[in-house]
C-alpha cells in the first residue's frame, strides 16, 4: 500500500543552526548531570521523558520556573491513563499569577489589531504594557469580587479577540473562577447549548466585531442568547465591551447591563482583592483545580464541556513554549484564532514567557497582505495559523514578493493536516529559513501531542516529533503496537498532566446523576476503544526516525473518516494531497477550490467505495476529461484503491464553527443517517447538508 510517507523527501527543508544551544539540548545536559545518564539525541530525551514521567514533569516545573508550591508528589507513574491520576497532590498555584510574572512598564504584553473598514480605513493599533495589564487585571479582580465571584464559579465570554477578553480571563482565573469562552461569530443557538451546561454568573460580550471589511453588530445575538438562557439558568450579569475605535450607532441595551468602563471603574474604586502592598491576592488552588471549560466541535449531540486542570495547562504550555519551541521574552507571538478555538488559550499562555502577544480581529484573507504587513510592522517572530489558511493563501498570494518578513523565526500550522505541497509553498513563497511547525493536539487536551522543536529538522509533510512527556504510539485496529511507517490510531499509553479532569459537571458541581452521566460520557469518548490507553480518534503514521527525532508524525485524518475500500485503510489526506499537488493552480485547465472524501458502504456493508466531493471555481463544471485526469493522478501517485468510485461536484463543503471539514458527519449522512441527527448549531454552513442527503439517497439506491 502507498502511504503519505512515500511523498516525503530525505533532505530536510529546515535544519537548526545551533542545535546544541537549544533548550532541548540544555535539558539533555541537565538530565545527564542529575541522573548520571548519557542521553545524546532528542529521541533519547523523549524516551527518557515517557519512561520516567514523574521525574520528567518534576524537572519541567523546576526548569521553567513555575510560581507556586510544588510539594513532593508528582504522579503515580504506574497508573494507566484510564485512571486519570492526580498530579502534584501537594502543590498549590495560580495560572494567572504565572501569566503576569512580568511587571515591566516598558515591555509590551498585548498588541491588538483590527481589520480595516470603509469607516475606519486605518484602525489604530492598541498596545498594553505588562504593568498596565497587571493593573487592569487587578481592577477587574476587585469588580469580580464585588459581584460575588468565588472559586469554582463560571464566567463566560461571547467576545472577539481583544485586549479586554484576555484581561477578563486573567482576572477570573486569578481568583479561582472557571473561564468559558465562545467566539463572537458563533450563532446564539450554539452558544446557548454551551452556556446552559455551565451556568455562568457573568457574561462578557462585545457590542460589535469586524469581519470581511464590515462592522457586524453583536448585541442582537447577545439578546437572543440571553433570551434562550432565561428559562434554563439563573440570570447572569452582563458586561459589554466596545473594542472598536470608530463610533457605532446606538444599540439597544438592557438597563442592568454594565459597560466595560463602568465595570473597571467599580473595581478601581473598591480596591478589593489586594494585599496591603497592592499585590493581587492570587487564589492558589491545587494543581488539579479546574481552570477553563472548552467545548468540542462535535456535530451530533450537545457539545462536550471539557474541563481542564490549571496546573496541567500551565506546565504543558511551559514545556511546549520554553523547552520545545524555544520561545523567548523578546518574541512577538501571533496566532490567527477566534476566542472559541483552543489556539486562543494556547496563544494567551505565551504570557508566561513575558513575550508580546498580537491579537487580531477580522478576516485573514479578504486582504491577504494584511497579516503579513503586521509581521513587518510589529516585528512578529512567531506566526500561527491553520492549514486551511495556508492552503487558501497559496492559491492567491506570495508574501515573500511583497514583504520583508525578516523577523519571522517560526510558522505554526494546525486544525487539519498540512499537505506536503504546502510545506513547499511556505519555504518558497513565505520564508526560506523559518521553522515550519505543523502541530497537532486538540480541544480535548488544549495542547499538543506532537509538534515543533527548535532542535530538530523539518521534513516535508511531517510533524517534527512527538512532544516530550507524551507517550504517543500508533495502534492497529486490534490494539497492537504498529511499526514505523504503518498507519494506525493515535493513542497515549501513559498519563499526562494536561489530560482533562472530565466533562462538566465535576463532582461537587452537579447532581449525582449528572456527574455520573458526564463521567460515563468522558470514559466512552477516550477510553472505550482500547484497554488502558487514551484513544484520540486520529489516524496517523509515526515515521521512521530521522535527524534524531525518534520518528515524526503524518496526520491522516480523523479515525472515523478513514477510508477502507477493499479492506485497505488510508486517510482522506492521501487523496487531498494529490488534489493539492495537481489541481490547486487557479490558472490550470482543471482547478479544485475545496474537497471532501468519504466512504460509502456497499455490498450490504461488507465493502465501501470512495466518494469524492469537489467544489470548483465559479462557472466551472466537472467534465469527463476532468474526472479522467483526477483518476489518473490518484492511480499514479497513490494506488488503484485511492481512485474515487464517484466524483461529484458540490456548491459547498460543510465546516464546523472552528473551520474543520466534517468528514464523519457527511459519511454518516451518505450512509443513511437523517439530517435531524445533526446539530446545526455546530456548523458554519448547515444549509448545504440537504444536498448531501439527496446525493446519499441516490447513491444508496444505485448501490442497492
Between CA 58 and CA 108 the distance in angstroms is 31
Identify the pLDDT of residue 2: 36
Identify the pLDDT of residue 257: 96
The answer to whether residues 398 and 505 belong to one domain is yes
Which domain covers residue 256, as residue numbers?
A: 111-283
Give mean pLDDT, residues 388-392.
Answer: 88
User: Residue 571 above 90 pLDDT?
Assistant: no
Q: Which residues pair with 285 in a beta bridge?
A: 93
Give mean pLDDT, residues 69-73.
Answer: 98
Position 371 in a domain: yes
Identify the pLDDT of residue 43: 97
The answer to whether residues 500 and 404 belong to one domain is yes
Question: What's the number of domains the chain is made of?
Answer: 3
User: Residues 45, 470: contact at Cβ < 8 Å?
Assistant: no
Count of C-beta atoms within a 10 Å radius of residue 617:
10
User: Residue 674 above 90 pLDDT?
Assistant: no
User: Residue 144 above 70 pLDDT?
Assistant: yes
Identify the pLDDT of residue 226: 97
The answer to whether residues 27 and 167 belong to one domain is no
How many helices and strands in the chain, by DSSP H and E?
Answer: 19, 29
pLDDT in tens, 465-486: 999 999 999 998 889 999 999 9
Grid-cell match 451530533, residue found: 300
pLDDT band at 15 (very low <50, low <70, confident <90, very high): very high
Identify the pLDDT of residue 7: 43
Domain final residue pick, 268, 283, 298: 283
Eight-state DSSP code of residue 475: E
Q: Which contiguous run of DSSP H or E holds residue 206?
A: strand 202-206
Position 4 in a domain: no
pLDDT band at 250 (very low <50, low <70, confident <90, very high): confident
Between CA 259 and CA 387 the distance in angstroms is 37
pLDDT in tens, 609-642: 999 999 999 999 999 999 999 999 988 877 788 8
User: Residue 345 above 60 pLDDT?
Assistant: yes
Domain final residue pick, 521, 553, 585: 553
Identify the pLDDT of residue 1: 33
CATH of residue 586: 3.30.300.30
The answer to whether residues 19 and 149 belong to one domain is no
574 vs 285, which has greater pLDDT? 285
Between CA 448 and CA 466 the distance in angstroms is 9
User: Residue 305 above 60 pLDDT?
Assistant: yes
Position 496 in a domain: yes
Position 101 in a domain: no
Neighbouring residues of 161: CB distance < 8 A, sequence distance ≥ 6: 112, 337, 338, 339, 344, 359, 360, 361
pLDDT band at 302 (very low <50, low <70, confident <90, very high): confident
Position 103 in a domain: no
User: Residue 8 above 60 pLDDT?
Assistant: no
pTM: 0.87
The answer to whether residues 206 and 192 belong to one domain is yes
The answer to whether residues 345 and 443 belong to one domain is yes
User: Residue 562 above 80 pLDDT?
Assistant: no
pLDDT in tens, 346-374: 999 999 999 999 999 999 999 999 999 99
Position 236 in a domain: yes
Query: What stretches of 597-688 show up as alpha helix (H) in DSSP?
Result: 624-637, 663-670
Between CA 627 and CA 592 the distance in angstroms is 12
Identify the pLDDT of residue 6: 39
Position 26 in a domain: yes
| Arithmetic mean of pLDDT over the chain | 92
Identify the pLDDT of residue 639: 76
Of the chain, the percentage scoring pLDDT greater than 90 comes to 77
Position 664 in a domain: yes
The answer to whether residues 398 and 481 belong to one domain is yes
User: Residue 160 above 70 pLDDT?
Assistant: yes
The answer to whether residues 364 and 327 belong to one domain is yes
The answer to whether residues 585 and 475 belong to one domain is no
Domain final residue pick, 495, 528, 553: 553
The answer to whether residues 296 and 275 belong to one domain is no
The answer to whether residues 176 and 36 belong to one domain is no
CATH of residue 500: 3.40.50.12780
The answer to whether residues 296 and 436 belong to one domain is yes
Neighbouring residues of 264: CB distance < 8 A, sequence distance ≥ 6: 136, 139, 140, 143
- Range from 140-144, 226-230, 580-584, 606-610 carrying the lowest mean pLDDT: 606-610
Closest by CA position to 222, among listed 309, 301, 159, 168 = 159
Give mean pLDDT, residues 646-651.
Answer: 95
Amino acid at each position: 500500500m502507498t502511504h503519505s510517507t512515500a511523498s516525503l523527501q530525505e533532505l530536510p527543508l529546515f535544519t537548526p543552526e545551533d542545535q546544541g544551544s537549544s533548550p532541548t539540548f540544555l535539558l539533555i545536559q541537565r538530565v545527564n548531570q542529575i541522573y548520571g545518564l548519557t542521553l545524546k539525541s532528542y529521541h533519547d530525551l523523549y524516551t527518557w521523558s515517557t519512561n520516567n514521567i514523574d521525574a520528567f514533569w518534576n524537572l519541567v516545573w523546576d526548569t521553567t520556573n513555575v510560581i507556586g508550591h510544588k510539594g513532593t508528589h508528582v504522579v503515580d507513574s504506574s497508573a494507566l491513563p484510564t485512571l486519570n491520576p492526580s498530579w502534584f497532590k501537594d502543590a498549590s498555584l495560580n495560572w494567572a499569577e504565572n501569566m503576569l510574572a512580568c511587571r515591566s512598564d516598558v515591555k509590551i504584553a498585548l498588541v491588538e489589531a483590527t481589520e480595516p473598514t470603509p469607516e475606519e480605513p486605518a484602525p489604530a493599533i492598541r498596545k498594553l504594557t505588562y504593568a498596565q495589564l497587571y493593573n487592569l487585571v487587578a481592577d477587574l479582580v476587585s469588580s469580580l469580587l464585588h459581584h460575588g465571584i468565588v472559586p469554582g464559579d463560571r464566567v463566560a465570554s461571547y467576545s472577539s479577540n481583544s485586549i479586554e477578553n484576555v484581561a477578563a480571563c486573567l482576572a477570573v482565573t486569578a481568583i479561582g473562577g472557571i473561564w468559558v469562552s465562545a467566539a463572537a461569530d458563533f450563532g446564539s443557538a450554539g452558544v446557548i447549548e454551551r452556556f446552559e451546561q455551565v451556568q455562568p454568573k457573568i457574561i462578557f460580550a462585545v457590542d460589535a466585531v469586524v469581519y470581511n471589511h464590515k462592522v457586524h453588530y453583536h448585541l442582537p445575538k447577545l439578546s437572543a442568547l440571553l433570551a434562550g438562557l432565561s428559562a434554563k439558568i439563573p440570570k447572569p450579569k452582563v458586561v459589554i465591551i466596545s473594542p472598536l475605535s470608530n463610533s457605532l450607532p446606538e444599540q439597544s441595551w438592557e438597563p442592568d447591563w454594565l459597560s466595560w468602563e463602568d465595570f473597571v471603574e467599580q473595581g478601581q474604586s473598591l480596591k478589593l482583592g489586594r494585599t496591603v502592598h497592592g499585590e493581587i491576592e492570587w487564589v492558589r488552588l491545587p494543581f488539579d483545580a479546574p481552570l477553563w471549560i472548552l467545548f468540542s466541535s462535535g456535530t451530533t449531540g450537545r457539545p462536550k464541556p471539557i474541563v481542564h486542570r490549571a496546573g496541567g495547562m500551565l506546565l504543558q504550555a511551559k514545556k511546549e513554549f520554553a523547552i520545545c519551541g524555544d520561545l523567548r521574552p523578546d518574541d512577538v507571538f501571533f496566532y490567527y484564532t477566534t476566542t472559541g478555538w483552543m489556539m486562543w488559550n494556547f496563544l494567551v499562555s505565551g504570557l508566561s514567557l513575558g513575550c508580546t502577544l498580537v491579537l487580531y480581529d477580522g478576516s485573514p484573507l479578504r486582504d491577504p497582505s494584511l497579516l503579513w504587513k503586521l509581521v513587518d510592522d510589529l516585528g512578529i517572530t512567531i506566526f500561527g495559523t491553520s492549514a486551511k489558511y495556508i492552503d487558501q493563501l497559496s492559491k492567491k498570494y506570495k508574501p515573500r514578493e511583497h514583504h520583508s518578513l525578516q523577523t519571522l523565526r517560526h510558522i505554526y500550522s494546525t486544525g487539519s493536516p498540512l499537505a506536503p505541497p504546502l510545506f513547499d509553498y511556505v519555504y518558497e513563497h513565505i520564508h526560506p529559513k523559518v521553522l515550519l511547525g505543523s502541530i497537532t493536539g486538540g480541544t480535548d487536551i488544549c495542547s499538543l501531542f506532537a509538534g515543533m522543536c527548535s532542535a530538530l529538522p523539518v521534513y516535508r509533510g511531517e510533524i517534527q516529533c512527538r512532544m516530550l512527556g507524551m507517550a504517543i504510539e500508533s495502534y492497529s485496529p486490534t490494539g497492537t503496537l504498529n511499526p514505523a511507517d504503518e498507519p494506525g490510531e493515535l493513542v497515549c499509553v501513559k498519563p499526562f498532566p494536561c489530560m482533562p479532569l472530565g466533562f462538566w459537571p465535576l463532582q461537587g458541581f452537579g447532581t449525582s446523576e449528572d456527574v455520573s452521566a458526564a463521567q460515563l460520557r468522558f470514559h466512552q469518548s477516550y477510553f472505550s476503544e482500547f484497554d488502558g490507553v487514551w484513544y484520540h480518534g486520529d489516524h496517523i503514521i509515526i515515521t521512521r526516525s530521522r535527524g534524531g527525532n525518534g520518528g515524526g508524525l503524518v496526520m491522516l485524518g480523523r479515525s472515523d473518516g478513514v477510508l477502507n475500500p477493499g479492506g485497505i485503510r488510508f486517510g482522506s489526506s492521501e487523496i487531498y494531497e494529490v488534489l493539492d499537488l495537481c489541481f490547486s493552480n487557479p490558472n490550470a485547465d482543471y482547478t479544485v477550490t475545496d474537497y471532501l472524501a468519504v466512504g460509502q458502504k456497499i455490498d450490504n456493508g461488507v465493502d465501501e467505495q470512495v466518494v469524492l466531493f469537489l467544489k470548483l471555481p465559479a462557472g466551472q463544471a466537472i467534465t469527463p476529461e476532468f474526472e479522467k485526469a483526477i483518476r489518473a493522478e490518484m492511480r499514479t501517485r497513490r494506488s488503484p484503491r485511492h481512485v474515487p468510485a464517484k466524483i461529484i461536484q458540490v456548491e459547498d463543503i460543510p465546516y464546523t464553527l472552528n473551520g474543520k471539514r466534517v468528514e464523519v458527519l457527511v459519511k454518516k449522512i451518505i450512509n443513511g443517517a437523517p439530517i435531524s441527527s445533526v446539530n446545526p448549531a455546530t456548523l458554519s454552513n448547515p444549509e448545504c447538508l440537504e444536498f448531501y442527503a439527496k446525493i446519499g439517497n441516490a447513491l444508496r439506491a444505485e448501490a442497492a
